[in-house]
Structure 1
């Protein structure tokens, strides 16, 4: 069975964006993106680079982890604001929204139904793992379905902002096993946690 993987960048204090929800990696963003970070993504997670970055870096690797990406409406609209209708044309791209009625791109599938039911359907299909891109609202709704966390911690704190999971997520303590880790010289740390099989 395929796994749902929440692969997300976070600050040390657990935020994925500032309070306004703007793209922290955009032109006016505050997120550090050093060279070794970009190179690590290109080698280890090439399919998670947006198409524009793949072109700029001459990345053609298909990737071995994901063939599907899930995004919430707010997360997806960050790209729309700068004219990007599909940042991941090399993946099956699903956007969960009850307000968007027509997809801005033929390669983007809109899903207005229950996210949990849809993810369970996706897990039963054959293929590579499913990448939960975000944002916090969708991650909160899918909290019970996440099988693995890959958190890219930046050497950065915000004090406040949008957390990994929305404040509306259900209170449900879960134990996770650390299954991989990589520390870069620039200070970024990639931590992979798999949902623990023990209570």
Structure 2
């Protein structure tokens, strides 16, 4: 069975974007970015992969799931992750390129995707979608940036059940960014 991984940048106070959905306060230079390029190239937008000369086969993910606001980031391309199967959760979005599928039931979609063979499924945002999918999230990879936003879009937004995760690994970079991986603990 495939895993759903919430791989996301967050501030020290738990926000994945500012109140307008912007993420310009996060660090985009430094040794932590080298780690992203080398270890998580599947999570780079197709334009960035092309600019960096990355055309290797996907190694961790073959599918990306995102909320409408994440998909419709201002200035973003209409097909941001052409190297992945792309799903956008929305009840309002109607026009997308043929390689971007709009779905309205994220839990049913993830459960069906998990039953298929393949690589992992990457949840790349947003906070409300993450809260909805929390029962299905198998792994969290948090890229914690050394900033405090004070307000914005939280890592998980809305009502959601309690879930426990066990720390699997932590890496600290010279930039001050810390990657921490958590695996879902099974309830006994």
Partner of 1:6: 6
**Which whole-Å CA distance do the structure 2 matches of 1:72 and 1:189 have between them?**
25
* 1:100 matched to 2:93: yes
- Give 5+ residue unaligned stretches, structure 1: none
RMSD, aligned α-carbons:
1.3
Counterparts of residues 3-42 of structure 1 (less than 5 Å):
3-22=3-22, 24=23, 29-42=24-37
**Which whole-Å CA distance do the structure 1 matches of 2:76 and 2:134 have between them?**
30
Could you tell me how far 1:173 is from its partner in structure 2? 2.0
Partner of 1:136: 127
**Which whole-Å CA distance do the structure 2 matches of 1:198 and 1:148 have between them?**
15
* 1:159 matched to 2:150: yes
- Give 5+ residue unaligned stretches, structure 2: none
In 2, are the aligned partners of 1:143 and 1:169 still within 8 Å (CA)?
no
In 1, are the aligned partners of 2:13 and 2:150 still within 8 Å (CA)?
yes
* 1:48 matched to 2:43: yes
**Which whole-Å CA distance do the structure 2 matches of 1:153 and 1:83 have between them?**
23
Q: Secondary structure at the match of 2:72?
A: helix
TM-score, normalised with respect to structure 2: 0.95
Q: Secondary structure at the match of 2:20?
A: coil
Partner of 1:67: 62
User: Equivalent of 1:169, from 149, 159, 167?
Assistant: 159
Residues 97 and 51 (structure 1), Cα distance of their counterparts in 2 relative to 1, 3 Å cut: same
TM-score, normalised with respect to structure 1: 0.90
